[in-house]
Amino acid sequence: MGSIAMAVFLVSEFGAITELQSAGSALEHPLVFDSAAREIQALAVQGKAEILQKRVSVFDGEILIDRLHFRRLM
């Protein structure tokens, strides 16, 4: 079974700007969203995506990613 982040990545169009959406999905929980966003960031380190915009906030004393826009490269 694949992750939510991988599912979003695989349905995104090559070269198109994609926002990792939280509304109406399991990504509504801040910890789940942060985990998915970090997985997309790992894909960027591998050269498969480009992070265009990232926003962080503090949730329960932790710094978490709460918004992410990326572009699929591969």
pLDDT value at residue 26:
85
Whole domain around residue 32: which residue ranges? 4-72
Please give the DSSP secondary-structure letter assigned to residue 16. Answer: -
69: exposed, middle or buried (Cβ count in 10 Å: 0-12, 13-18, 19+): middle
User: In the chain, how many domains are there?
Assistant: 1
Task: Answer yes or no: is pLDDT of 1 > 60.
Answer: no
Q: Give residue 42's identity as a one-letter amino acid code.
A: A
Q: Which residue has the tokens 């169009």?
A: 13
User: To the nearest whole number, what is the mean pLDDT of the chain?
Assistant: 94
pLDDT class of 4 with cuts at 50, 70, 90: very high
What confidence tens digit (pLDDT) does each residue in 51-65 have?
Answer: 999 999 998 999 999
Q: What are the CA-CA distances from residue 28 to residues 6, 34, 62, 69 (Å)?
A: 17, 10, 16, 16
Task: Answer yes or no: is pLDDT of 73 > 80.
Answer: yes
What confidence tens digit (pLDDT) does each residue in 36-52 have?
Answer: 999 999 999 999 999 99
Q: Which of 11, 7, 69 is nearest to 44 (CA)?
A: 69
